Chain A
Amino acid sequence: GAGVSQTPSNKVTEKGKYVELRCDPISGHTALYWYRQSLGQGPEFLIYFQGTGAADDSGLPNDRFFAVRPEGSVSTLKIQRTERGDSAVYLCASSFRRGAQLTEQFFGPGTRLTVL
């Protein structure tokens, strides 16, 4: 089966612009996660969805960042008024629940965002 897919693979934008990054999780995975990875660093948690709702958005850096998952499958990460410091690779992951436990997270290839 297909893994997690993310589009676009690369996005170059200008400071102040709005961007949307899309994540298509593995079919049947109810849990979806967004992470951000800066150069030389490990991924940093942004937000976790269980179904359609954001169960934990404590990692979103500020109110310019917002994510949705309206039908419990595809998710979109939205960044308003982009800043140069937003440049990073944005990773999406998904997993399913086995009993009471969430399984390991399967990651997509990421979207490399560059803000000029």
Chain B
Amino acid sequence: SQELEQSPQSLIVQEGKNLTINCTSSKTLYGLYWYKQKYGEGLIFLMMLQKGGEEKSHEKITAKLDEKKQQSSLHITASQPSHAGIYLCGADSSGGSNYKLTFGKGTLLTVNP
């Protein structure tokens, strides 16, 4: 079965600082999803990556998938308190059919003003 390991498990940064969260898969990724979760709320979709070497950006968040499609990183530039939350990476573990996601345990991000 596919396993995803996220690092770090938690991260505390000062507002304005840059940060990176990593997600490593035990198998080649068909599709890699990044979600954000706040306590008591559902997951908010951020980005999806499918192709080796792919990079996507939205506002101050950039996600990359390596060429071998086994590792992804999420980079936040000039962090703000609104970026605080749990970041989860999820992999398509249905062989490309895109319906069954396996998630990492998440990275808890705290941004101090």
A and B co-occur in one complex = yes
Q: Are A91 and B94 in contact (CB under 8 A)?
A: no
- Count the B residues whose beta carbon is within 8 Å of the partner chain — how many? 24
Q: For the complex, is A108 an interface residue (Cβ under 8 Å from B)? A: yes
Name the CB-closest residue of A to B40.
Answer: A109
Given contacts A104-B48, A105-B45, A107-B43, contact A55 B103 (CB under 8 A): no
A54 to chain B, nearest CB (A): 11
Q: Are B94 and A56 in contact (CB under 8 A)?
A: yes
Within 8 A of A (CB), among B73-107: 88, 90, 93-94, 97-106
Of A33, A40, A109, the contact of B41 (CB 8 Å cutoff):
A109
Q: Digit string of B1-15 for contact with A (CB within 8 Å is 1, else 0)? A: 000100000000000
Q: Are A55 and B99 in contact (CB under 8 A)?
A: yes
Residues of chain B within 8 A of A59, CB atoms compared: 100
A33 to chain B, nearest CB (A): 7
Residues of chain A within 8 A of B45, CB atoms compared: 104-107
Using CB atoms and an 8 Å cutoff, list the residues of chain A in contact with chain B: 4, 31, 33, 35, 40-45, 48, 50, 55-56, 59, 91, 93, 101-102, 104-110
CA distance A48 to B93 in the complex (A): 13
Using CB atoms and an 8 Å cutoff, list the residues of chain B in contact with chain A: 4, 33, 35, 40-45, 48, 88, 90, 93-94, 97-106
CA distance A26 to B103 in the complex (A): 22
8 shortest interchain CB distances as A-B pairs? A42-B103, A107-B42, A107-B43, A102-B98, A109-B42, A48-B99, A104-B45, A45-B100
CA distance A56 to B101 in the complex (A): 12
Of A4, A48, A101, A109, the contact of B100 (CB 8 Å cutoff):
A48
CA distance A42 to B86 in the complex (A): 10
Residues of chain A within 8 A of B41, CB atoms compared: 109-110
Given contacts A104-B45, A108-B42, contact A41 B100 (CB under 8 A): no
B28 to chain A, nearest CB (A): 18
A87 to chain B, nearest CB (A): 16
